[in-house]
Amino acid sequence: MPEKKIDVRYVANLARIALDDEEVAVFQKQLEQIVGYVDKLGELDVAGIEPTSHAHPVTNVFREDVVRQGLEHESVMHNAPEETMDQFKVPKIVE
């Protein structure tokens, strides 16, 4: 077994996804394989090449700064997993 390229549990935690041991083992194998394939990008000389972040960079897009109707409060709250007093309820975050 070659050296592991990817620490699946560590990266999954960065992505805020809990995994069980079985998932870690499956992903380990699959992700090693995919990353091994992606390594072929290293074959190319990309010195001096500008990165593309958008296919058609459009710059300085402005619109009128006017007041518009927002989303309806009631229908937004309808989708809330937990709410209290018309607000999203979350677990305690401060002691």
Partner 1 sequence: MPELSIKTITELLTLLDKGDISSEDIVRDQLAAIASNDAELGAYIWSSEEDAILQAKEADRRRQSGDSAPLLGIPVAVKDVLNVKGQPCTCASRILEGYTAVYDATSIAKLRQAGAVMAGRTNMDEFAMGSTTENSAFKVTKNPADTSRVPGGSSGGSAAAVAGGEAVAALGTDTGGSIRQPASFCGCVGLKPSYGRVSRYGLTAFASSLDQIGPITKTVEDAALLLEAMAGGDPMDSTSLIEPVPAYADRLPDTLAGVKIGLPKEYLGDGLDPEVRAVIEESIKVCEEAGAELVEVSLPHTEYAIATYYVIATAEASANLARFDGVRYGARVAGADPIDMYCRTREAGFGPEVKRRVILGTYVLSSGYYDAYYLRAQKVRTLIRRDFEAAFKQCSVLLSPVTPAPAYKLGEKESDPLQMYLGDIFTVTANLAGICGISVPAGLTAEKLPVGVQFLGPALGEEAVLGAGHVFERAAGRQ
Q: For residues 10 and 40, what is the distance between their CA atoms, to the nearest angstrom?
A: 24
**2 belongs to the binding site for partner 1 (CB under 8 A):** no
CB of 1 to partner 1, least distance (A): 18
User: Does 84 help bind partner 1 (rule: CB under 8 A)?
Assistant: no
| Chosen residue from 21, 79, 84, 85 binding partner 1 by CB under 8 A | 79
Nearest distance from residue 37's CB to partner 1, in Å?
A: 6
The 3-state secondary structure of 55-94 reads CCCCCCCCCCCCCCCCCCHHHHHHCCCCEECCEECCCCCC
Closer residue to partner 1, CB minimum distance, 1 or 65 = 65
CB 66 within 8 A of CB 72: no
The C-alpha atoms of residue 23 and residue 9 are separated, in whole angstroms, by 10
Binding to partner 1 by residue 76, rule CB under 8 A? yes
Tell me, rounded to whole angstroms, the distance of Cα 12 from its chain centroid: 11
Using CB under 8 A as the binding rule, whether residue 35 contacts partner 1 is answered as: yes
Cα(48)–Cα(43) distance, integer angstroms:
15
Q: Does 50 bind partner 1 (CB under 8 A)?
A: yes
Give the binding site for partner 1 (CB under 8 A): 6, 8, 11-19, 23, 26-27, 30-31, 33-35, 37-44, 46, 49-56, 58, 61, 63, 71-72, 75-76, 78-82, 88, 90-93
